[in-house]
Protein backbone atom coordinates (compact mmCIF):
# COMPACT_ATOMS: atom_id res chain seq x y z
CA UNK A 1 0.00 0.00 0.00
CA UNK A 2 1.35 3.43 -0.98
CA UNK A 3 0.18 6.96 -0.13
CA UNK A 4 -0.93 9.23 -3.00
CA UNK A 5 0.77 12.66 -3.14
CA UNK A 6 -1.50 15.72 -2.85
CA UNK A 7 -0.48 16.82 -6.36
CA UNK A 8 -1.97 13.59 -7.75
CA UNK A 9 -5.01 13.70 -5.45
CA UNK A 10 -6.01 17.10 -6.89
CA UNK A 11 -7.12 15.32 -10.07
CA UNK A 12 -9.59 13.29 -7.99
CA UNK A 13 -10.82 16.32 -6.04
CA UNK A 14 -11.50 18.33 -9.20
CA UNK A 15 -13.32 15.53 -11.02
CA UNK A 16 -17.08 15.77 -11.68
CA UNK A 17 -19.49 14.15 -14.09
CA UNK A 18 -18.99 17.08 -16.46
CA UNK A 19 -15.21 16.99 -16.12
CA UNK A 20 -13.75 13.47 -16.17
CA UNK A 21 -10.06 13.67 -15.23
CA UNK A 22 -8.56 10.84 -17.26
CA UNK A 23 -6.02 11.03 -20.07
CA UNK A 24 -5.99 8.70 -23.03
CA UNK A 25 -4.54 7.89 -26.39
CA UNK A 26 -5.72 6.62 -29.76
CA UNK A 27 -3.18 4.41 -31.53
CA UNK A 28 -3.65 3.54 -35.18
CA UNK A 29 -2.06 0.40 -36.70
CA UNK A 30 -1.58 -1.26 -40.07
CA UNK A 31 -2.12 -5.01 -39.91
CA UNK A 32 0.88 -7.15 -40.88
CA UNK A 33 0.77 -8.63 -44.37
CA UNK A 34 -0.72 -12.08 -44.67
CA UNK A 35 -2.35 -12.30 -41.22
CA UNK A 36 -6.02 -12.88 -40.51
CA UNK A 37 -7.34 -9.77 -38.77
CA UNK A 38 -9.74 -11.66 -36.47
CA UNK A 39 -7.07 -14.13 -35.31
CA UNK A 40 -4.46 -11.38 -34.90
CA UNK A 41 -6.67 -9.19 -32.71
CA UNK A 42 -7.81 -12.21 -30.68
CA UNK A 43 -4.17 -13.04 -29.97
CA UNK A 44 -3.45 -9.45 -28.86
CA UNK A 45 -6.51 -9.58 -26.61
CA UNK A 46 -5.24 -12.77 -24.96
CA UNK A 47 -1.84 -11.18 -24.28
CA UNK A 48 -3.41 -8.04 -22.78
CA UNK A 49 -5.82 -10.03 -20.58
CA UNK A 50 -3.04 -11.43 -18.38
CA UNK A 51 -4.23 -11.15 -14.77
CA UNK A 52 -1.09 -12.14 -12.89
CA UNK A 53 1.19 -9.78 -11.02
CA UNK A 54 0.54 -6.33 -12.55
CA UNK A 55 2.62 -3.16 -12.29
CA UNK A 56 1.37 0.01 -10.58
CA UNK A 57 -1.35 1.29 -11.01
CA UNK A 58 -3.01 -1.35 -13.23
CA UNK A 59 -3.60 -3.88 -10.49
CA UNK A 60 -4.45 -1.39 -7.73
CA UNK A 61 -7.52 0.54 -6.69
CA UNK A 62 -8.15 3.55 -4.47
CA UNK A 63 -8.43 3.26 -0.69
CA UNK A 64 -9.94 6.29 1.04
CA UNK A 65 -10.42 7.18 4.70
CA UNK A 66 -13.46 8.65 6.50
CA UNK A 67 -13.00 12.00 4.71
CA UNK A 68 -13.14 10.36 1.29
CA UNK A 69 -11.21 12.11 -1.48
CA UNK A 70 -10.54 15.08 0.83
CA UNK A 71 -8.53 12.95 3.25
CA UNK A 72 -5.51 10.70 2.91
CA UNK A 73 -5.73 8.48 -0.20
CA UNK A 74 -3.73 5.31 -0.79
CA UNK A 75 -3.33 2.62 -3.44
CA UNK A 76 -4.07 -1.00 -2.51
CA UNK A 77 -4.01 -4.25 -4.51
CA UNK A 78 -7.37 -5.15 -6.05
CA UNK A 79 -8.12 -8.73 -4.96
CA UNK A 80 -11.15 -8.94 -7.28
CA UNK A 81 -9.50 -7.77 -10.49
CA UNK A 82 -11.56 -8.57 -13.61
CA UNK A 83 -9.42 -8.17 -16.73
CA UNK A 84 -12.41 -8.80 -19.00
CA UNK A 85 -13.85 -5.55 -17.65
CA UNK A 86 -10.69 -3.56 -18.43
CA UNK A 87 -9.81 -5.12 -21.81
CA UNK A 88 -12.67 -4.60 -24.27
CA UNK A 89 -13.24 -5.36 -27.95
CA UNK A 90 -15.22 -2.99 -30.18
CA UNK A 91 -16.10 -2.83 -33.88
CA UNK A 92 -16.88 0.25 -35.95
CA UNK A 93 -20.06 0.51 -38.01
CA UNK A 94 -19.72 0.59 -41.79
CA UNK A 95 -18.06 2.16 -43.69
CA UNK A 96 -15.32 2.25 -41.00
CA UNK A 97 -13.93 5.71 -41.71
CA UNK A 98 -11.93 7.89 -39.32
CA UNK A 99 -15.17 9.80 -38.74
CA UNK A 100 -16.74 6.74 -37.13
CA UNK A 101 -13.52 6.07 -35.19
CA UNK A 102 -13.39 9.62 -33.79
CA UNK A 103 -17.07 9.42 -32.88
CA UNK A 104 -16.49 6.22 -30.88
CA UNK A 105 -13.46 7.69 -29.08
CA UNK A 106 -15.47 10.84 -28.27
CA UNK A 107 -18.13 8.71 -26.59
CA UNK A 108 -15.65 6.49 -24.72
CA UNK A 109 -13.73 9.50 -23.45
CA UNK A 110 -16.91 11.12 -22.08
CA UNK A 111 -17.63 8.49 -19.41
CA UNK A 112 -16.13 8.39 -15.90
CA UNK A 113 -13.86 5.59 -14.74
CA UNK A 114 -15.20 3.34 -11.98
CA UNK A 115 -13.42 4.31 -8.73
CA UNK A 116 -14.15 0.93 -7.16
CA UNK A 117 -11.82 -0.69 -9.72
CA UNK A 118 -8.32 0.07 -11.05
CA UNK A 119 -8.64 3.36 -12.91
CA UNK A 120 -8.01 2.33 -16.53
CA UNK A 121 -9.64 0.82 -19.63
CA UNK A 122 -8.31 -0.45 -22.98
CA UNK A 123 -10.39 -0.92 -26.15
CA UNK A 124 -9.26 -2.87 -29.23
CA UNK A 125 -11.19 -1.47 -32.20
CA UNK A 126 -11.64 -3.31 -35.50
CA UNK A 127 -13.64 -2.51 -38.63
CA UNK A 128 -11.42 0.22 -40.07
CA UNK A 129 -10.78 0.52 -43.79
CA UNK A 130 -7.49 -0.39 -45.50
CA UNK A 131 -6.64 -3.27 -43.12
CA UNK A 132 -6.18 -1.06 -40.11
CA UNK A 133 -7.19 -1.41 -36.47
CA UNK A 134 -6.99 0.94 -33.49
CA UNK A 135 -6.47 0.88 -29.75
CA UNK A 136 -7.93 3.45 -27.37
CA UNK A 137 -6.77 3.50 -23.76
CA UNK A 138 -7.61 5.83 -20.90
CA UNK A 139 -6.09 6.08 -17.41
CA UNK A 140 -6.93 8.46 -14.59
CA UNK A 141 -4.58 11.43 -14.38
CA UNK A 142 -3.99 10.77 -10.67
CA UNK A 143 -2.22 7.56 -11.73
CA UNK A 144 -0.19 8.60 -14.77
CA UNK A 145 0.90 11.63 -16.82
CA UNK A 146 1.90 12.02 -20.46
CA UNK A 147 5.56 11.09 -19.98
CA UNK A 148 4.58 8.06 -17.91
CA UNK A 149 2.26 6.95 -20.71
CA UNK A 150 5.18 7.10 -23.15
CA UNK A 151 7.21 4.80 -20.87
CA UNK A 152 4.31 2.34 -20.90
CA UNK A 153 4.07 2.44 -24.69
CA UNK A 154 7.81 1.98 -25.13
CA UNK A 155 7.55 -1.23 -23.08
CA UNK A 156 4.68 -2.33 -25.34
CA UNK A 157 6.13 -1.55 -28.78
CA UNK A 158 9.45 -2.24 -30.48
CA UNK A 159 11.34 -0.80 -33.48
CA UNK A 160 11.87 -4.36 -34.75
CA UNK A 161 9.06 -5.37 -37.11
CA UNK A 162 9.79 -9.08 -36.62
CA UNK A 163 9.88 -9.00 -32.81
CA UNK A 164 7.03 -10.65 -30.90
CA UNK A 165 6.29 -9.78 -27.26
CA UNK A 166 4.18 -12.43 -25.53
CA UNK A 167 3.88 -10.85 -22.08
CA UNK A 168 1.36 -8.14 -21.17
CA UNK A 169 2.64 -4.55 -21.05
CA UNK A 170 0.76 -4.21 -17.74
CA UNK A 171 2.66 -7.08 -16.12
CA UNK A 172 5.43 -6.64 -13.58
CA UNK A 173 7.60 -8.75 -15.88
CA UNK A 174 7.24 -6.18 -18.70
CA UNK A 175 7.99 -3.36 -16.27
CA UNK A 176 11.20 -4.93 -14.99
CA UNK A 177 12.36 -5.84 -18.50
CA UNK A 178 11.77 -2.28 -19.70
CA UNK A 179 13.63 -0.73 -16.75
CA UNK A 180 16.59 -3.03 -17.32
CA UNK A 181 16.69 -2.17 -21.05
CA UNK A 182 16.40 1.53 -20.22
CA UNK A 183 19.35 1.38 -17.83
CA UNK A 184 21.48 -0.56 -20.31
CA UNK A 185 20.82 2.00 -23.03
CA UNK A 186 22.26 4.79 -20.85
CA UNK A 187 25.89 5.16 -19.77
CA UNK A 188 26.63 3.78 -16.32
CA UNK A 189 27.07 6.40 -13.66
CA UNK A 190 30.23 6.41 -11.58
CA UNK A 191 29.44 7.11 -7.94
CA UNK A 192 31.85 9.80 -6.64
CA UNK A 193 33.44 9.48 -3.23
CA UNK A 194 32.21 11.47 -0.22
CA UNK A 195 35.34 13.63 -0.33
CA UNK A 196 34.79 14.48 -3.98
CA UNK A 197 31.13 15.35 -3.29
CA UNK A 198 32.09 17.79 -0.52
CA UNK A 199 34.63 19.48 -2.77
CA UNK A 200 32.04 19.97 -5.52
CA UNK A 201 29.48 21.38 -3.08
CA UNK A 202 31.98 23.86 -1.66
CA UNK A 203 32.90 24.99 -5.18
CA UNK A 204 29.25 25.53 -6.11
CA UNK A 205 28.60 27.44 -2.90
CA UNK A 206 31.48 29.80 -3.61
CA UNK A 207 30.59 30.40 -7.28
CA UNK A 208 26.83 30.68 -7.06
CA UNK A 209 26.29 31.97 -3.57
CA UNK A 210 23.09 29.87 -3.42
CA UNK A 211 20.63 28.69 -6.03
CA UNK A 212 17.82 30.74 -7.51
CA UNK A 213 15.23 30.38 -4.77
CA UNK A 214 11.47 30.56 -4.68
CA UNK A 215 11.36 34.01 -3.09
CA UNK A 216 13.04 35.71 -6.04
CA UNK A 217 10.78 33.90 -8.52
CA UNK A 218 7.67 34.92 -6.58
CA UNK A 219 8.88 38.53 -6.60
CA UNK A 220 9.04 38.45 -10.40
CA UNK A 221 5.62 36.78 -10.45
CA UNK A 222 4.13 39.54 -8.28
CA UNK A 223 5.49 42.14 -10.72
CA UNK A 224 3.09 40.74 -13.34
CA UNK A 225 0.07 41.63 -11.20
CA UNK A 226 1.49 45.10 -10.60
CA UNK A 227 1.84 45.64 -14.35
CA UNK A 228 5.66 45.87 -14.12
CA UNK A 229 6.49 42.67 -16.02
CA UNK A 230 5.02 42.70 -19.53
CA UNK A 231 6.62 39.51 -20.85
CA UNK A 232 5.75 37.00 -18.13
CA UNK A 233 2.17 35.68 -18.26
CA UNK A 234 0.31 34.54 -15.16
CA UNK A 235 -2.88 32.53 -14.53
CA UNK A 236 -6.10 34.58 -14.31
CA UNK A 237 -4.26 37.88 -14.93
CA UNK A 238 -5.84 39.53 -18.01
CA UNK A 239 -7.15 36.18 -19.26
CA UNK A 240 -10.10 37.17 -21.51
CA UNK A 241 -13.58 35.65 -21.39
CA UNK A 242 -14.37 33.81 -24.62
CA UNK A 243 -16.47 30.79 -25.70
CA UNK A 244 -13.46 28.74 -24.53
CA UNK A 245 -13.88 29.96 -20.94
CA UNK A 246 -17.46 28.78 -20.45
CA UNK A 247 -18.62 25.97 -18.19
CA UNK A 248 -18.61 22.68 -20.09
CA UNK A 249 -20.79 19.60 -20.23
CA UNK A 250 -19.76 15.95 -20.17
CA UNK A 251 -20.09 15.60 -23.97
CA UNK A 252 -16.81 15.38 -25.87
CA UNK A 253 -15.66 15.84 -29.45
CA UNK A 254 -12.31 14.39 -30.49
CA UNK A 255 -10.45 15.08 -33.75
CA UNK A 256 -6.89 14.26 -34.77
CA UNK A 257 -4.39 15.09 -37.49
CA UNK A 258 -0.69 14.57 -38.25
CA UNK A 259 1.82 17.10 -39.57
CA UNK A 260 5.34 16.51 -40.83
CA UNK A 261 7.77 16.91 -37.93
CA UNK A 262 10.53 18.51 -40.02
CA UNK A 263 8.10 20.99 -41.57
CA UNK A 264 7.04 22.39 -38.18
CA UNK A 265 10.61 22.29 -36.92
CA UNK A 266 11.91 24.26 -39.92
CA UNK A 267 9.26 26.92 -39.37
CA UNK A 268 10.18 27.19 -35.70
CA UNK A 269 13.90 27.46 -36.45
CA UNK A 270 13.24 30.19 -39.01
CA UNK A 271 11.96 32.31 -36.11
CA UNK A 272 14.85 31.22 -33.85
CA UNK A 273 12.30 29.38 -31.71
CA UNK A 274 11.84 25.91 -30.30
CA UNK A 275 9.52 23.23 -31.64
CA UNK A 276 7.18 23.95 -28.75
CA UNK A 277 7.06 27.64 -29.78
CA UNK A 278 6.01 26.53 -33.27
CA UNK A 279 3.27 24.28 -31.89
CA UNK A 280 1.93 27.13 -29.73
CA UNK A 281 1.96 29.45 -32.76
CA UNK A 282 -0.04 26.94 -34.84
CA UNK A 283 -2.65 26.66 -32.10
CA UNK A 284 -2.70 30.44 -31.64
CA UNK A 285 -3.47 31.07 -35.32
CA UNK A 286 -6.14 28.35 -35.34
CA UNK A 287 -7.91 29.75 -32.26
CA UNK A 288 -7.78 33.25 -33.70
CA UNK A 289 -9.48 32.04 -36.90
CA UNK A 290 -12.05 30.03 -34.96
CA UNK A 291 -13.04 32.97 -32.75
CA UNK A 292 -13.20 35.35 -35.72
CA UNK A 293 -15.53 32.86 -37.38
CA UNK A 294 -17.65 32.92 -34.20
CA UNK A 295 -17.43 36.74 -34.04
CA UNK A 296 -15.91 36.36 -30.57
CA UNK A 297 -12.23 37.36 -30.82
CA UNK A 298 -11.36 39.45 -27.71
CA UNK A 299 -9.05 42.45 -27.67
CA UNK A 300 -6.83 40.82 -25.03
CA UNK A 301 -4.67 37.91 -26.20
CA UNK A 302 -5.58 34.37 -25.23
CA UNK A 303 -3.31 32.45 -22.86
CA UNK A 304 -2.40 28.78 -22.65
CA UNK A 305 -1.21 26.54 -19.87
CA UNK A 306 1.89 24.75 -21.19
CA UNK A 307 2.89 21.75 -19.02
CA UNK A 308 6.61 20.90 -18.83
CA UNK A 309 7.93 17.58 -17.58
CA UNK A 310 10.10 17.39 -14.45
CA UNK A 311 10.58 13.64 -14.86
CA UNK A 312 14.13 12.31 -15.06
CA UNK A 313 14.88 10.27 -18.16
CA UNK A 314 15.02 7.02 -16.16
CA UNK A 315 12.07 7.81 -13.86
CA UNK A 316 9.37 5.23 -14.62
CA UNK A 317 7.69 5.26 -11.20
CA UNK A 318 6.28 8.76 -10.65
CA UNK A 319 2.59 9.20 -11.43
CA UNK A 320 2.88 12.92 -12.22
CA UNK A 321 6.04 15.01 -12.52
CA UNK A 322 5.01 18.23 -14.25
CA UNK A 323 5.17 21.98 -13.82
CA UNK A 324 3.19 24.63 -15.67
CA UNK A 325 4.13 27.73 -17.65
CA UNK A 326 1.46 30.21 -18.75
CA UNK A 327 2.07 31.26 -22.35
CA UNK A 328 0.74 34.40 -24.00
CA UNK A 329 -0.64 33.24 -27.37
CA UNK A 330 -0.59 36.73 -28.90
CA UNK A 331 -3.97 36.32 -30.61
CA UNK A 332 -4.50 40.09 -30.49
CA UNK A 333 -1.75 40.40 -33.13
CA UNK A 334 -2.84 40.06 -36.76
CA UNK A 335 0.73 39.62 -38.00
CA UNK A 336 1.85 35.96 -37.48
CA UNK A 337 5.49 37.03 -36.98
CA UNK A 338 4.47 39.36 -34.12
CA UNK A 339 2.36 36.55 -32.59
CA UNK A 340 5.40 34.29 -32.65
CA UNK A 341 7.54 36.93 -30.90
CA UNK A 342 4.93 37.37 -28.16
CA UNK A 343 4.81 33.58 -27.61
CA UNK A 344 8.60 33.29 -27.50
CA UNK A 345 8.99 36.14 -25.01
CA UNK A 346 6.39 34.73 -22.62
CA UNK A 347 7.84 31.19 -22.79
CA UNK A 348 11.39 32.43 -22.23
CA UNK A 349 10.23 34.51 -19.26
CA UNK A 350 8.44 31.48 -17.80
CA UNK A 351 11.47 29.23 -18.20
CA UNK A 352 13.71 31.84 -16.57
CA UNK A 353 11.46 31.66 -13.49
CA UNK A 354 12.28 27.97 -13.12
CA UNK A 355 15.95 28.17 -14.07
CA UNK A 356 18.28 27.02 -11.31
CA UNK A 357 15.50 25.51 -9.16
CA UNK A 358 15.55 21.95 -7.93
CA UNK A 359 12.63 19.69 -8.76
CA UNK A 360 11.18 20.14 -5.29
CA UNK A 361 11.48 23.95 -5.53
CA UNK A 362 9.72 23.91 -8.91
CA UNK A 363 6.86 21.87 -7.42
CA UNK A 364 6.43 24.34 -4.53
CA UNK A 365 6.63 27.35 -6.84
CA UNK A 366 4.04 25.77 -9.18
CA UNK A 367 1.63 25.14 -6.30
CA UNK A 368 1.92 28.74 -5.12
CA UNK A 369 1.57 30.37 -8.53
CA UNK A 370 -1.33 28.11 -9.51
CA UNK A 371 -3.24 29.02 -6.34
CA UNK A 372 -5.56 31.45 -8.22
CA UNK A 373 -6.37 28.62 -10.63
CA UNK A 374 -7.24 26.25 -7.78
CA UNK A 375 -9.42 28.90 -6.09
CA UNK A 376 -11.44 29.52 -9.26
CA UNK A 377 -11.98 25.75 -9.61
CA UNK A 378 -13.04 25.25 -6.00
CA UNK A 379 -15.39 28.27 -6.00
CA UNK A 380 -16.91 27.44 -9.40
CA UNK A 381 -15.85 30.77 -10.96
CA UNK A 382 -13.75 29.46 -13.82
CA UNK A 383 -16.13 30.95 -16.38
CA UNK A 384 -16.04 34.40 -14.70
CA UNK A 385 -12.30 34.42 -13.95
CA UNK A 386 -10.67 32.02 -16.42
CA UNK A 387 -7.15 31.07 -15.39
CA UNK A 388 -6.15 30.57 -19.03
CA UNK A 389 -7.89 30.00 -22.35
CA UNK A 390 -6.68 26.51 -23.26
CA UNK A 391 -4.03 23.86 -22.61
CA UNK A 392 -1.30 23.13 -25.16
CA UNK A 393 0.87 20.16 -24.20
CA UNK A 394 3.83 18.76 -26.16
CA UNK A 395 4.81 15.20 -25.17
CA UNK A 396 8.01 13.72 -26.65
CA UNK A 397 7.31 10.31 -28.18
CA UNK A 398 9.36 7.67 -30.01
CA UNK A 399 11.38 9.24 -32.85
CA UNK A 400 11.50 6.02 -34.87
CA UNK A 401 9.02 3.69 -36.51
CA UNK A 402 7.47 1.35 -33.92
CA UNK A 403 5.62 -1.98 -34.21
CA UNK A 404 3.31 -4.00 -32.02
CA UNK A 405 3.96 -7.67 -32.74
CA UNK A 406 4.45 -6.82 -36.41
CA UNK A 407 1.63 -4.28 -36.73
CA UNK A 408 2.99 -0.91 -37.87
CA UNK A 409 2.17 2.04 -35.59
CA UNK A 410 0.66 4.56 -38.06
CA UNK A 411 -0.57 7.21 -35.60
CA UNK A 412 -0.20 8.10 -31.93
CA UNK A 413 -2.91 10.61 -31.05
CA UNK A 414 -3.28 11.87 -27.44
CA UNK A 415 -6.74 12.36 -25.92
CA UNK A 416 -6.57 14.71 -22.95
CA UNK A 417 -8.78 16.79 -20.64
CA UNK A 418 -10.94 19.88 -21.22
CA UNK A 419 -12.22 21.64 -18.12
CA UNK A 420 -14.43 24.47 -16.94
CA UNK A 421 -12.70 27.62 -18.11
CA UNK A 422 -10.81 25.93 -20.96
CA UNK A 423 -13.23 24.00 -23.15
CA UNK A 424 -10.55 22.71 -25.54
CA UNK A 425 -7.28 20.85 -25.04
CA UNK A 426 -4.50 20.57 -27.65
CA UNK A 427 -1.94 17.83 -27.07
CA UNK A 428 0.74 16.70 -29.51
CA UNK A 429 3.05 13.68 -29.50
CA UNK A 430 6.15 13.41 -31.68
CA UNK A 431 6.16 10.05 -33.42
CA UNK A 432 8.70 8.92 -36.01
CA UNK A 433 8.63 11.65 -38.69
CA UNK A 434 5.35 13.25 -37.69
CA UNK A 435 3.68 15.37 -35.05
CA UNK A 436 0.38 13.74 -34.06
CA UNK A 437 -2.16 16.24 -32.70
CA UNK A 438 -5.18 15.25 -30.64
CA UNK A 439 -7.83 17.92 -29.97
CA UNK A 440 -10.51 17.34 -27.34
CA UNK A 441 -13.31 19.82 -26.69
CA UNK A 442 -16.76 20.08 -25.17
CA UNK A 443 -19.15 19.34 -28.03
CA UNK A 444 -21.86 21.71 -26.76
CA UNK A 445 -19.63 24.62 -25.74
CA UNK A 446 -17.46 24.64 -28.88
CA UNK A 447 -19.50 23.50 -31.90
CA UNK A 448 -17.76 22.40 -35.11
CA UNK A 449 -14.41 21.94 -33.41
CA UNK A 450 -13.37 19.76 -36.37
CA UNK A 451 -12.69 23.01 -38.24
CA UNK A 452 -9.64 23.46 -36.00
CA UNK A 453 -7.78 20.98 -38.22
CA UNK A 454 -8.18 23.22 -41.29
CA UNK A 455 -7.41 26.34 -39.25
CA UNK A 456 -4.17 24.81 -37.95
CA UNK A 457 -3.00 24.04 -41.48
CA UNK A 458 -3.85 27.60 -42.56
CA UNK A 459 -1.98 28.91 -39.52
CA UNK A 460 1.10 26.84 -40.38
CA UNK A 461 1.07 28.07 -43.99
CA UNK A 462 0.76 31.65 -42.75
CA UNK A 463 3.76 31.21 -40.45
CA UNK A 464 5.81 29.65 -43.24
CA UNK A 465 5.03 32.62 -45.48
CA UNK A 466 6.03 35.06 -42.71
CA UNK A 467 9.30 33.16 -42.19
CA UNK A 468 10.11 33.23 -45.91
CA UNK A 469 9.82 29.44 -46.29
CA UNK A 470 6.89 29.72 -48.66
CA UNK A 471 6.13 32.36 -51.28
CA UNK A 472 2.94 34.29 -50.76
CA UNK A 473 0.32 33.93 -53.50
CA UNK A 474 0.18 36.95 -55.82
CA UNK A 475 -2.77 39.25 -55.18
CA UNK A 476 -5.25 39.40 -58.04
CA UNK A 477 -5.77 42.86 -59.56
CA UNK A 478 -9.32 44.10 -59.40
CA UNK A 479 -10.63 45.27 -62.82
CA UNK A 480 -14.01 46.91 -63.49
CA UNK A 481 -16.64 44.46 -64.58
CA UNK A 482 -17.62 44.58 -68.26
CA UNK A 483 -21.23 44.49 -69.30
CA UNK A 484 -22.37 41.21 -70.83
CA UNK A 485 -22.31 41.16 -74.62
CA UNK A 486 -25.89 39.84 -74.78
CA UNK A 487 -27.25 42.90 -72.96
CA UNK A 488 -25.44 45.30 -75.34
CA UNK A 489 -26.83 43.52 -78.36
CA UNK A 490 -30.35 43.64 -76.91
CA UNK A 491 -29.96 47.37 -76.23
CA UNK A 492 -28.96 47.99 -79.86
CA UNK A 493 -31.86 45.97 -81.25
CA UNK A 494 -34.58 47.66 -79.18
CA UNK A 495 -34.65 51.04 -81.08
CA UNK A 496 -34.61 49.20 -84.42
CA UNK A 497 -37.78 47.30 -83.54
CA UNK A 498 -39.46 50.56 -82.49
CA UNK A 499 -38.69 52.42 -85.76
CA UNK A 500 -39.73 49.38 -87.79
CA UNK A 501 -43.10 49.47 -86.09
CA UNK A 502 -43.49 53.17 -86.87
CA UNK A 503 -42.67 52.54 -90.57
CA UNK A 504 -45.41 49.94 -90.71
CA UNK A 505 -48.08 52.39 -89.48
CA UNK A 506 -47.01 55.79 -90.94
CA UNK A 507 -44.99 54.74 -93.94
CA UNK A 508 -42.04 56.94 -92.97
CA UNK A 509 -39.41 57.09 -90.37
CA UNK A 510 -40.05 59.20 -87.31
CA UNK A 511 -38.33 62.56 -87.15
CA UNK A 512 -38.20 65.31 -84.57
CA UNK A 513 -40.89 67.99 -85.05
CA UNK A 514 -40.14 71.69 -84.67
CA UNK A 515 -41.76 73.54 -81.78
CA UNK A 516 -44.49 75.10 -84.02
CA UNK A 517 -45.51 71.73 -85.40
CA UNK A 518 -45.73 70.38 -81.83
CA UNK A 519 -48.22 73.14 -80.88
CA UNK A 520 -50.45 72.38 -83.93
CA UNK A 521 -50.37 68.69 -83.12
CA UNK A 522 -51.37 69.43 -79.54
CA UNK A 523 -54.31 71.54 -80.76
CA UNK A 524 -55.50 68.78 -83.10
CA UNK A 525 -55.26 66.27 -80.31
CA UNK A 526 -57.36 68.45 -78.01
CA UNK A 527 -60.13 68.88 -80.64
CA UNK A 528 -62.88 66.23 -80.84
CA UNK A 529 -62.17 63.55 -83.47
CA UNK A 530 -64.56 62.77 -86.30
CA UNK A 531 -65.71 59.19 -86.44
CA UNK A 532 -66.42 57.27 -89.65
CA UNK A 533 -68.06 53.97 -90.29
CA UNK A 534 -64.85 52.54 -91.75
CA UNK A 535 -62.85 50.49 -89.23
CA UNK A 536 -59.28 51.40 -88.61
CA UNK A 537 -56.79 48.99 -90.05
CA UNK A 538 -54.86 47.03 -87.45
CA UNK A 539 -51.26 47.97 -86.79
CA UNK A 540 -48.57 45.85 -88.32
CA UNK A 541 -45.64 44.97 -86.11
CA UNK A 542 -42.45 43.21 -86.95
CA UNK A 543 -42.51 39.65 -85.57
CA UNK A 544 -40.07 39.04 -82.68
CA UNK A 545 -37.44 36.37 -83.00
CA UNK A 546 -37.68 33.43 -80.59
CA UNK A 547 -34.73 33.21 -78.18
CA UNK A 548 -32.59 30.08 -78.44
CA UNK A 549 -31.45 28.26 -75.22
CA UNK A 550 -27.95 29.75 -75.62
CA UNK A 551 -29.23 33.27 -76.06
CA UNK A 552 -31.55 32.87 -73.08
CA UNK A 553 -28.68 31.68 -70.96
CA UNK A 554 -26.53 34.63 -72.01
CA UNK A 555 -29.27 37.07 -71.05
CA UNK A 556 -29.60 35.45 -67.67
Measured CA to CA in angstroms, residue 513 lies from 197, 486, 522 at distances of: 121, 34, 12
Band of the pLDDT at 409, cuts 50, 70, 90? very high
- Residues 113, 114, 115, 119: is their CA dihedral positive or negative? negative
Task: State the pairing for strand pair 403-404/407-415.
Answer: antiparallel
Contact 427, 109 (CB under 8 A): no
Nearest CA to 394 among 361, 421, 427, 357? 427
Candidate list 123, 141, 151, 431, residue with the active-site label = 141
One CATH from 3.40.120.10, 3.30.559.30, 3.40.50.720, 3.50.50.60 for 2-175+212-466: 3.30.559.30
**What DSSP letter does each residue of 413-478 carry, written as one string?**
EEE---BTTB-EEEEEEEETTEEEEEEEEETTTSTTTTHHHHHHHHHHHHHHHHTTSSPPPPPPPP
Q: How many CA atoms lie within 13 A of 108 on its CB side?
A: 28
Band of the pLDDT at 320, cuts 50, 70, 90? low
Q: What is the pLDDT of residues 446-464, one digit of tens each?
A: 999 999 999 999 999 999 9
**271/341 Cα distance (integer angstroms):** 8
Cβ-Cβ contacts under 8 Å for 474 (sequence gap 6 or more): none
Q: What is the pLDDT of residues 268-297, one digit of tens each?
A: 999 999 999 999 999 999 999 999 999 999
Q: What is the pLDDT of residues 100-110, one digit of tens each?
A: 999 999 999 99
Q: What share of the chain is helix, strand, coil (3-state, %, to 5)?
A: 40, 20, 40
- % residues pLDDT > 90 (the chain): 50
What local confidence, expressed as pLDDT, does residue 292 receive?
95
Residue 430 burial class via C-beta count within 10 angstroms: exposed 0-12, middle 13-18, buried 19 and up: buried
Contact 276, 307 (CB under 8 A): no
What are the two backbone dihedrals, phi and then psi, of residue 388, each rounded to the nearest 5 degrees? -160, 170
Does 56 qualify as catalytic in the annotation?
Answer: no
Extract the runs of DSSP E, i.e. beta strands, from 16-119: 22-30, 60-65, 68-77, 87-91
What local confidence, expressed as pLDDT, does residue 376 receive?
81
Q: What is the pLDDT of residues 149-188, one digit of tens each?
A: 888 888 889 999 999 988 899 998 888 888 887 776 555 4
Amino acid sequence: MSRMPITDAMFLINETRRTPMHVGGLHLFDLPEGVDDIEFLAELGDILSYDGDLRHPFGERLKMGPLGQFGPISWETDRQLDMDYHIRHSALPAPGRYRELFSLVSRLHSSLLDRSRPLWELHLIEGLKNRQFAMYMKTHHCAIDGAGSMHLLNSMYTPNQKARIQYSPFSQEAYEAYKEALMQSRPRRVRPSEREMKAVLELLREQLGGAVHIGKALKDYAAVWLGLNKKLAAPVYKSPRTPLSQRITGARRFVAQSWDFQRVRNMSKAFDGTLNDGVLAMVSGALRRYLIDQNALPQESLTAMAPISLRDADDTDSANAVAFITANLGTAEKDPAKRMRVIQESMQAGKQQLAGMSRREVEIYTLLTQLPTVLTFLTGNTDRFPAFSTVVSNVPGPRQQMYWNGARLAGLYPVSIPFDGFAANFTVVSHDKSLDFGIVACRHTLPQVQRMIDYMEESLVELEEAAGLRSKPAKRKLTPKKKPVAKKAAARKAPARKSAAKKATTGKASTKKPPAAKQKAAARKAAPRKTTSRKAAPRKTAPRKKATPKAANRQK
